[in-house]
Amino acid sequence: MKVLKWIGIVVAALIVLPILTLVVLHYRPNAGKMHASVEIAAPPQQVWAWIDDGQLLKQWVSWMVEVQEAQPGRRGVGSSLTWVMKDENNGGASMKLNGRITEYTPPTRLALAISEPVYGIKGVQAYTLTDLGSGRTRIDTDAHYDYGNWFASLMEPLVTPAAGKKMNDDLARLKGLIETKADAGR
Protein backbone atom coordinates (compact mmCIF):
# COMPACT_ATOMS: atom_id res chain seq x y z
CA MET A 1 0.00 0.00 0.00
CA LYS A 2 2.83 2.39 0.83
CA VAL A 3 4.31 1.90 -2.65
CA LEU A 4 0.98 2.78 -4.31
CA LYS A 5 0.73 5.91 -2.19
CA TRP A 6 4.21 7.04 -3.31
CA ILE A 7 3.42 6.24 -6.95
CA GLY A 8 0.26 8.34 -6.66
CA ILE A 9 2.21 11.25 -5.14
CA VAL A 10 4.85 11.10 -7.89
CA VAL A 11 2.23 10.93 -10.66
CA ALA A 12 0.31 13.85 -9.12
CA ALA A 13 3.51 15.87 -8.83
CA LEU A 14 4.39 15.18 -12.48
CA ILE A 15 1.01 16.57 -13.52
CA VAL A 16 0.55 19.41 -11.02
CA LEU A 17 4.07 20.92 -11.06
CA PRO A 18 4.19 21.68 -14.81
CA ILE A 19 0.69 23.21 -14.69
CA LEU A 20 1.63 25.28 -11.65
CA THR A 21 4.81 26.42 -13.44
CA LEU A 22 2.79 27.57 -16.48
CA VAL A 23 0.35 29.44 -14.24
CA VAL A 24 3.18 31.25 -12.41
CA LEU A 25 5.01 32.07 -15.66
CA HIS A 26 1.81 33.50 -17.14
CA TYR A 27 2.03 36.34 -14.58
CA ARG A 28 5.60 37.38 -15.43
CA PRO A 29 6.02 41.09 -16.40
CA ASN A 30 6.66 40.44 -20.12
CA ALA A 31 3.87 37.88 -20.61
CA GLY A 32 2.46 38.09 -24.12
CA LYS A 33 5.03 40.68 -25.26
CA MET A 34 7.35 40.26 -28.23
CA HIS A 35 9.91 42.43 -29.98
CA ALA A 36 12.00 41.84 -33.07
CA SER A 37 14.25 44.16 -35.05
CA VAL A 38 16.35 43.99 -38.20
CA GLU A 39 18.34 46.42 -40.34
CA ILE A 40 17.70 46.27 -44.07
CA ALA A 41 19.84 47.74 -46.83
CA ALA A 42 16.95 49.63 -48.45
CA PRO A 43 15.24 52.99 -47.90
CA PRO A 44 12.08 53.16 -45.73
CA GLN A 45 9.74 53.67 -48.73
CA GLN A 46 10.91 50.38 -50.24
CA VAL A 47 10.57 48.49 -46.94
CA TRP A 48 7.14 50.04 -46.29
CA ALA A 49 5.72 48.47 -49.45
CA TRP A 50 6.46 45.01 -48.02
CA ILE A 51 4.42 45.81 -44.90
CA ASP A 52 1.56 47.68 -46.53
CA ASP A 53 0.90 45.45 -49.57
CA GLY A 54 -0.93 42.18 -48.81
CA GLN A 55 0.65 40.33 -51.75
CA LEU A 56 4.16 41.25 -50.56
CA LEU A 57 3.25 40.55 -46.91
CA LYS A 58 2.36 36.94 -47.83
CA GLN A 59 5.86 36.45 -49.24
CA TRP A 60 7.67 37.05 -45.96
CA VAL A 61 5.21 36.28 -43.15
CA SER A 62 5.27 32.52 -42.68
CA TRP A 63 1.89 30.79 -42.41
CA MET A 64 0.09 33.74 -44.07
CA VAL A 65 -2.04 32.56 -46.98
CA GLU A 66 -4.32 35.53 -47.59
CA VAL A 67 -4.87 39.17 -46.67
CA GLN A 68 -8.53 40.18 -46.89
CA GLU A 69 -9.29 43.90 -46.88
CA ALA A 70 -12.74 45.10 -45.82
CA GLN A 71 -12.43 47.99 -48.30
CA PRO A 72 -9.76 47.05 -50.87
CA GLY A 73 -7.45 49.92 -51.72
CA ARG A 74 -8.46 52.02 -48.70
CA ARG A 75 -5.78 52.19 -46.06
CA GLY A 76 -5.69 54.36 -42.99
CA VAL A 77 -6.74 54.58 -39.38
CA GLY A 78 -9.94 52.60 -38.91
CA SER A 79 -9.43 50.35 -41.94
CA SER A 80 -10.08 46.66 -41.30
CA LEU A 81 -8.32 43.62 -42.67
CA THR A 82 -8.07 39.93 -41.93
CA TRP A 83 -4.87 37.91 -41.99
CA VAL A 84 -5.71 34.31 -42.89
CA MET A 85 -3.01 32.07 -41.44
CA LYS A 86 -2.26 28.36 -41.80
CA ASP A 87 -1.46 27.57 -38.15
CA GLU A 88 1.41 25.07 -38.32
CA ASN A 89 1.16 24.51 -34.55
CA ASN A 90 -2.43 23.36 -34.97
CA GLY A 91 -2.09 20.85 -37.81
CA GLY A 92 -2.27 23.50 -40.52
CA ALA A 93 -5.75 24.65 -39.44
CA SER A 94 -6.93 27.98 -40.76
CA MET A 95 -6.80 30.85 -38.28
CA LYS A 96 -8.15 34.33 -38.97
CA LEU A 97 -6.62 37.33 -37.25
CA ASN A 98 -8.90 40.34 -37.58
CA GLY A 99 -7.06 43.65 -37.64
CA ARG A 100 -8.11 47.26 -37.37
CA ILE A 101 -5.49 49.87 -38.21
CA THR A 102 -4.93 52.18 -35.23
CA GLU A 103 -1.88 54.08 -36.58
CA TYR A 104 -0.98 54.63 -40.21
CA THR A 105 1.92 56.93 -41.03
CA PRO A 106 3.66 55.82 -44.25
CA PRO A 107 6.55 55.07 -44.42
CA THR A 108 7.31 55.05 -40.69
CA ARG A 109 4.57 53.35 -38.63
CA LEU A 110 1.72 50.89 -38.90
CA ALA A 111 -0.11 49.59 -35.82
CA LEU A 112 -3.08 47.27 -35.67
CA ALA A 113 -5.48 46.10 -32.99
CA ILE A 114 -5.71 42.34 -33.52
CA SER A 115 -8.38 39.88 -32.42
CA GLU A 116 -9.02 36.19 -32.99
CA PRO A 117 -12.35 34.88 -31.67
CA VAL A 118 -11.67 31.12 -31.38
CA TYR A 119 -8.82 31.41 -28.87
CA GLY A 120 -9.92 34.78 -27.53
CA ILE A 121 -6.66 36.42 -28.65
CA LYS A 122 -6.58 40.21 -28.44
CA GLY A 123 -3.60 42.45 -28.84
CA VAL A 124 -1.61 45.02 -30.72
CA GLN A 125 0.98 44.54 -33.47
CA ALA A 126 3.10 47.51 -34.55
CA TYR A 127 5.77 48.05 -37.21
CA THR A 128 8.09 51.03 -36.86
CA LEU A 129 10.55 51.92 -39.62
CA THR A 130 13.53 54.13 -38.83
CA ASP A 131 15.57 55.74 -41.59
CA LEU A 132 19.23 55.06 -40.72
CA GLY A 133 20.53 57.07 -43.68
CA SER A 134 22.63 55.79 -46.58
CA GLY A 135 19.69 53.76 -47.88
CA ARG A 136 19.30 51.69 -44.71
CA THR A 137 16.20 51.09 -42.59
CA ARG A 138 15.65 49.49 -39.21
CA ILE A 139 12.30 47.83 -38.75
CA ASP A 140 11.09 47.18 -35.22
CA THR A 141 8.11 44.91 -34.65
CA ASP A 142 6.41 45.03 -31.28
CA ALA A 143 3.44 42.95 -30.22
CA HIS A 144 1.46 42.36 -27.07
CA TYR A 145 -1.22 39.69 -26.94
CA ASP A 146 -3.65 38.51 -24.26
CA TYR A 147 -5.42 35.16 -24.44
CA GLY A 148 -9.07 34.91 -23.34
CA ASN A 149 -9.40 31.15 -23.76
CA TRP A 150 -8.29 29.45 -20.50
CA PHE A 151 -6.16 26.83 -22.28
CA ALA A 152 -4.48 29.37 -24.58
CA SER A 153 -3.89 31.57 -21.54
CA LEU A 154 -2.34 28.64 -19.66
CA MET A 155 -0.06 27.90 -22.64
CA GLU A 156 1.02 31.56 -23.08
CA PRO A 157 4.49 30.94 -21.54
CA LEU A 158 5.13 28.48 -24.38
CA VAL A 159 3.24 30.32 -27.15
CA THR A 160 4.86 33.76 -26.74
CA PRO A 161 8.50 32.59 -27.12
CA ALA A 162 7.54 30.47 -30.15
CA ALA A 163 5.68 33.41 -31.70
CA GLY A 164 8.68 35.67 -30.96
CA LYS A 165 10.99 33.24 -32.76
CA LYS A 166 8.59 33.17 -35.72
CA MET A 167 8.58 36.99 -35.73
CA ASN A 168 12.41 37.08 -35.85
CA ASP A 169 12.49 34.43 -38.61
CA ASP A 170 9.90 36.39 -40.63
CA LEU A 171 11.93 39.61 -40.36
CA ALA A 172 15.06 37.74 -41.46
CA ARG A 173 13.09 36.47 -44.48
CA LEU A 174 11.94 40.05 -45.22
CA LYS A 175 15.53 41.30 -45.07
CA GLY A 176 16.65 38.56 -47.47
CA LEU A 177 13.87 39.23 -49.96
CA ILE A 178 14.35 43.00 -50.04
CA GLU A 179 18.15 42.90 -50.19
CA THR A 180 18.15 40.17 -52.86
CA LYS A 181 15.78 42.22 -55.02
CA ALA A 182 17.87 45.36 -54.42
CA ASP A 183 21.06 43.52 -55.42
CA ALA A 184 19.36 42.17 -58.57
CA GLY A 185 18.33 45.72 -59.53
CA ARG A 186 21.89 47.08 -59.37
Q: Are residues 70 and 146 in the same domain?
A: yes
In which band, very low, low, confident or very high, does the pLDDT at 112 lie, cut at 50, 70 and 90? very high
Helix (H, G, I), strand (E, B) or coil at 152: helix
Report the pLDDT value the prediction gives residue 71, as an integer from 0 to 100.
87
Report the pLDDT value the prediction gives residue 153, as an integer from 0 to 100.
82
* Res. 129: pLDDT tops 90: yes
Q: How many domains does the chain have?
A: 2
Q: What is the mean pLDDT of residues 36-65?
A: 96
Range of 89's domain? 32-185
pTM: 0.85
Name which of 51, 65, 63 is nearest 140 in CA terms. 51
Q: Are residues 70 and 114 in the same domain?
A: yes
Q: Are residues 5 and 56 in the same domain?
A: no
Q: Are residues 73 and 116 in the same domain?
A: yes
Q: CA-CA distances (angstroms) from residue 139 to 17, 60, 78, 81?
A: 39, 14, 23, 21
Q: Are residues 76 and 141 in the same domain?
A: yes
Give the integer Cα–Cα distance in Å for 172 and 169: 5
Q: Which amino acid type is present at position 87?
A: D
Give the integer Cα–Cα distance in Å for 93 and 17: 30
- Which residues does 155 contact at the CB level (< 8 Å), separation at least 6? 22, 147
Where do the H-state alpha helices sit in 30-129? 44-52, 54-60
Name which of 90, 77, 80 is nearest 162 in CA terms. 90
